Structure formats: structure tokens, C-alpha cells
Structure 1
Amino acid sequence: MTTPDSIEPARFWEDRYRKCGRVWSGQPNELLVREAGNLTPGSALELGCGEGADALWLASWGWQVTAVDISTTALRRAAVRAIELGLSAQVTFQHFDLGQTFPSGSFDLVAAQYLQSPVALDQTAILRLAARAVAPGGTLVIVMHAGWPTWSTAAQQPADVVFPTLEGLLTTLALPPTWKVDTLASVQRPAPSSEGRPGTRTDHVWRLTRTT
């Protein structure tokens, strides 16, 4: 029997993107827009960019973006969309399995939305590397699901899934005193099921600034 833990992450995500014409809405994450919309554009790194909506939004606002994902199919779709929008000079899409390797360099903004996976993923290690990639004066934005959608049932909720708490993630990151917390918030948003059942889901948001 195949279990999520036994599936190779690259194969899981590649299969997911290949089976669908498009997986995501194509719209940027509203919480990223809220947290990064008032920042001065510079260099940005997006982790787990998928089909590129967040990276392309950043690029449209003047950021020079490096966007990475484990799925080559998703990256190809993102690159095509960048050409369509005239943003290919502003964003570079790169293939990384973040469980194995991490982009080099430092960035004025590092964004990580929903690094939560049904297959193996060392979330803690990746987020600590994300923090290290933030340049002095730069910003780290993290968005995570805080729990299951209201319409989901116990049978749809694997017992071994643990959602991060606001304070718990800060403790896990173990950031030095040179960081300050700008946003530490829970946000409830509409989240209908794939069959159209109405519901909501709560997300946690962290925006952190490396002061020096």
C-alpha cells in the first residue's frame, strides 16, 4: 500500500500538475498582497511558487523575483504566463527540491506561502534557511493554514497532521534578537470545497523584519 510518506515529493507534485490544466486560480495570495504591498521593491525570493501567481504579482510591482518550485510542469506554466504579461525580465523561475537544496544569495523579501505538504517536507529546516536568506533590512513573509476548512469531516483529516501556531512557529524559527515581528495574525477567509460547499478556513500570517 502506498502512503503519503512513501511517495517521492517530486513525483507527487509533478503528477498533480500534469493531471490538471491549471491547479490554482492565477490570482495572488491576498495575504501576501496585504503584507508586501507597502514594501519598497527590491530582490525577492518566493519558495514553492507553483504556477507563479504570487511571483508575477511581485514582478508587476517592480520586484526582481527568483521563484522556485519542485514541479517543472508548474514552472513551465509560470514562465509562459510571465511572457504573456511582459514580465519575463523581472522574474526567474528555477527548479528546486527544497527538501534537498536551497537557492543561494540574499534577498530583500523572502516569501513562503503554504509550505504544507501531504508528502515528506522538512518545513522547519526550509523556513530556517528562508530566514537566513533575508538580507539586512529585509522581510520574511510566511502564510500557513491554521487548521482544516470548516466543511471537512474527521474522515478527511489525517490524524498525523499538525498545524503551526503563531507563537509556536516563532519558537521553531529561533530567530536572534536582530529580528522584529511586524505581523502576527490569524485571518479567516472563505474556503468552499471543490464541490462548492460553503465554508471558511483560518490562516496564520507572520511578517518579520531582519533589522541588521
Structure 2
Amino acid sequence: MTDATYWDTRYAESTAVWSGDVNVALRDEVSDLTPGTALDLGCGEGGDAIWLAAQGWRVTATDISAVALAKAAAHAARAGVSVDFQCHDLGSSFPAGTFDLVSAQFLYPRGEVPRERILLAAAAAVAPGGILLIEGHQDFGPFAEQHHAHGDISFPEPDEVIAGLRLGEGEWQVLRAAKHDRLQNGPDGQPAHRTDSTVKVRRLPG
């Protein structure tokens, strides 16, 4: 089963896979930025992209699943915002241009393309003065049993993520590289603690 087929099937199985709310880390890290152009990688059903557009960002959002993108476009229309939704397998194609904000929220490809390679492309898409924001997991939290079959997924430390970006010396500023606790409802609907991490870097202007 291809990555696209897996995600199309998953998104087709239920009305909503995700909550539709903006990721808390994105909201907290972006709220004080001046809106410009934004790229949302792995946008799913569009919660982050729609929130960004509502804040005044000009948003391009991409996902591997055409089913997810159709749902996201419908949600954006209902919210009265404009988002450029594009279908990409980020291992083989990537949205053109550079952006003031590139966001990768819990982006874990299931295919053969390493996550690090996609994040390198994400860094290359950041405009001078722009922000790359990467949110990741540090453990499976309440979903450990559910993800047992995917035990080969690794959760790199923030410093490892930064090392993998191969940021040029004197070209970037690390604004945040930290782990943090997050309360998340588990598969049984009960809240549970999970450790996530935030990497936020800025490409220096000029």
C-alpha cells in the first residue's frame, strides 16, 4: 500500500480524523508574528491552514491525501477563508517558492523518504527573515499500543532535528529547541500526558 493510499483510506473511513482545531504549539509560536506567506506541510483536514488564513496569512497547504485536501477545502469554504491547497508527495514534489513561515506539525512520512530529507526541503523554502517551525513527538503517549505496529518510527531530540537541518553558520538563529508536556485525549477519550518538542528557527535576512 502506498503512502497516499494509506492516508486516503484513513481519511475516507471517518468524517473527521483530527479535531479541526489549530495545533496549540503553532498558535503559541506564531501569534506574535506579522502575517505574510505561509506553507503548511502535511495539512490534513486543514485546521492549521484555516487558522493561519483567518489570522491574515496567505497560505499554501499541502498533503499527500486528495481525500484530506477535499475535506480541507470544504472546511475552508465554510470558514470563509482562502487557502491554496496542493497535493504533493513531499518526497518527490514540493510547493514552489519561498515563504515567511514554513510549518511542519507532527509530520512523519510512512514511505521510504526520510523525514530529515523533507525537513531539509522545508528549510530551503524559508524566505530571508522567515521562520521554520517543526513540532514533533518524543513518545507515543496514550497511543503506544495503537502504534505498536509502527515501532520503527523514531522521535529525534530537538538538537538532533536541528543538526539534521544542516543550517549554514551565521545564516540562521535558533529561537527554540525544547521538549514540553502536552495533555492529549487518548483513544479511550481520556486525557493523558504526552511529551512533544518544538524546533523554531529563523533564517537571518540578507
Coarse TM-score class (shorter-chain normalised): over 0.9
**Corresponding residue of 1:192:** 185
CA deviation after TM superposition for structure 1 residue 158, in Å: 4.3
> How far apart are residue 117 of structure 1 and its match?
3.8
With structure 1 as the length reference, what TM-score do the two structures score? Answer: 0.91
Q: CA deviation at 1:185?
A: 1.5
Deviations 1:158-212 (A, max 9, x none): 4422111111111111101210011111111112321234421111101100003
Q: Within the alignment, does 1:39 sit opposite 2:33 as a pair?
A: yes
Deviation at 1:86, TM superposition (A): 0.9
Residues 121/193 of structure 1: CA separation in 2 closer, same or farther (3 Å cut): farther
Structure 1: stretches of 5+ with no match in the other structure: 1-6
1:4 alignment partner in structure 2:
none
Report the Cα distance in structure 1 between the residues aligned to 2:24 and 2:195, rounded to whole angstroms. 13
Residue 51 of structure 2 aligns with which residue? 57
1:166 aligns with 2:145: no
Aligned to 2:202: 209
Q: Cα gap change, 1:15/1:120 in structure 2, threshold over 3 Å: closer, same or farther? A: farther
Q: Structure 1 pair 179/155, CA: closer, same or farther in 2 (3 Å)?
A: closer
Q: Distance in 2 between matches of 1:71 and 1:211?
A: 33
Q: Which runs of 5+ in 2 are unaligned?
A: none
DSSP 3-state at the match of 2:35: coil
Deviation at 1:96, TM superposition (A): 0.6
Calculate the TM-score normalised by the size of structure 2: 0.93
Contact 2:8–2:66, Cα closer than 8 Å, also in 1: yes
Q: Deviations over 1:39-88 (max 9, x none)?
A: 11000001000000000110000000000001111111111111111102
Match of 2:23? Answer: 29
- Given that 1:56 and 1:82 are in contact with CA atoms closer than 8 Å, whether structure 2 keeps it comes out as yes
Checking the alignment, whether the CA contact within 8 Å between 2:142 and 2:187 is kept in structure 1 is no
Equivalent residues of 1:191, 1:200 under 8 A apart: yes
Distance 1:154 1:194, change over 3 A: closer
Return the alpha-carbon distance in structure 2 between the equivalents of residues 120 and 114 of structure 1. 17
8 Å CA contact 1:148–1:157 kept in 2: the answer is no
1:106 is aligned to 98
Alpha-carbon distance change, 105 to 179 in structure 1, aligned in 2, over 3 angstroms:
same
**3-state secondary structure, aligned to 1:129:** helix
Work out which of the residue numbers 67, 76, 82 in structure 1 matches 2:70: 76
Alignment: residue pair count: 204
1:113-158 CA-to-partner distances (Å, cap 9, x unmatched) read 1111444442111100000000000000000011120573598364
State the identity as a percent.
43
AA paired with 2:40?
E
User: How much is the aligned-residue C-alpha RMSD, in angstroms?
Assistant: 1.7
